[in-house]
């Protein structure tokens, strides 16, 4: 900057890092302002400072600096008409951004309304199963089995253990780890709940925590029917039997 300001501007233009380019142009603008003495009185030197700083602002190109970035380098008393174009550009940019944010907020409102409507519809949807319904994988009667089961809108009913066995291999690593962690936490909470000396408040809190964990587990392994959803698509390259003797 002290040797060749034009070279400094050339280097700033060639910089590919936006943050670094902005830092260099701020240094150039500060140097342009400091090279003018007597700026504080707002006289001819003050107008020269404004002209120099505005020239740097124009030279850096759009999107690098704005008028508010260089305001600290301007004199305390300066005529607005010297940089009114830059102020108008900044106001127009702000107006455009505000309009964009308003459009995003409107779209978010529509999405939230649609989600609320869908949740309201799903809360009224029920699934009926036959008294003799059997697990789609094991063939066991689910009502006689001593474990939870899932009934899907597709009509399939699957025991929890069978569902976990079929779905977990197709989860990503983070989801699979979370399934194990949630199941372990549920087992720990149930054991803690059945322990002696638990107050009614602690028991109610344990039930609430277990319910939340169970809801999370349901979302991980029962988000969709394994026989009609993405799991079935991903398992299309698997054989019909894991028994090597079956050909």
Comparing 159 with 63, which gets the higher pLDDT? Answer: 159
More confident site: 7 or 202: 202
Closest CA to 32 of 64, 62, 72, 68: 72
Of 34, 36, 14, the closest CA to residue 24 belongs to 14
Tokens 């907020």 correspond to what residue?
105
Of 10-14, 98-102, 113-117, 122-126, the least confident: 122-126
A 10 A CB-CB count for 28 gives 22
Write the pLDDT tens digit of every residue in 37-65: 544 444 445 567 777 777 887 777 777 77
Distance CA 72, CA 147 (A): 70
* Residue 77 banded pLDDT, cuts 50, 70, 90: low
pLDDT of residue 16 exceeding 90? no
Residue in this structure with the two tokens 């936490």, named with its chain if needed: 185
Question: Which residues have CB under 8 Å from 35's CB, separation 6+?
Answer: 52
Q: Of 212, 215, 217, 226, whose CA–CA distance to 163 is shortest?
A: 226
- Residue ranges of E strands in the chain: 149-151, 157-159
């Amino acid at each position: 900057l002290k040797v060749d300001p034009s070279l400094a501007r050339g280097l700033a233009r060639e910089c590919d890092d936006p943050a670094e380019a902005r830092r260099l142009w701020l240094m150039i603008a500060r140097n342009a302002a400091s090279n003018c003495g007597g700026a504080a009185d707002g006289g001819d030197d003050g107008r020269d400072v404004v002209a120099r700083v505005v020239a740097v602002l124009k030279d850096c190109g759009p999107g690098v600096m704005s008028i508010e970035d260089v305001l600290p380098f301007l004199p305390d008393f300066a005529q607005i008409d010297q940089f009114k174009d830059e102020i108008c550009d900044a106001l127009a940019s702000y107006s455009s951004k505000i309009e964009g944010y308003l459009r995003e907020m409107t779209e978010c409102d529509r999405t939230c309304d649609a989600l609320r409507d869908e949740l309201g519809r799903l809360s009224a949807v029920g699934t009926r199963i036959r008294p003799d319904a059997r697990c789609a994988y094991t063939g066991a009667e689910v009502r006689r089995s001593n474990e939870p089961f899932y009934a899907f809108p597709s009509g399939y009913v699957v025991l929890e253990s069978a569902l976990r066995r079929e779905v977990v291999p197709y989860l990503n690593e983070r989801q699979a780890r979370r399934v194990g962690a949630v199941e372990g936490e549920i087992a720990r909470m149930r054991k803690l709940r059945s322990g002696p000396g638990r107050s009614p408040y602690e028991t109610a809190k344990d039930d609430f925590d277990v319910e939340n964990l169970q809801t999370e587990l349901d979302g991980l392994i029962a988000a969709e029917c394994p026989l009609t959803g993405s799991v079935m698509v991903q398992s299309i390259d698997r054989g019909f039997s894991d028994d090597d003797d079956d050909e």
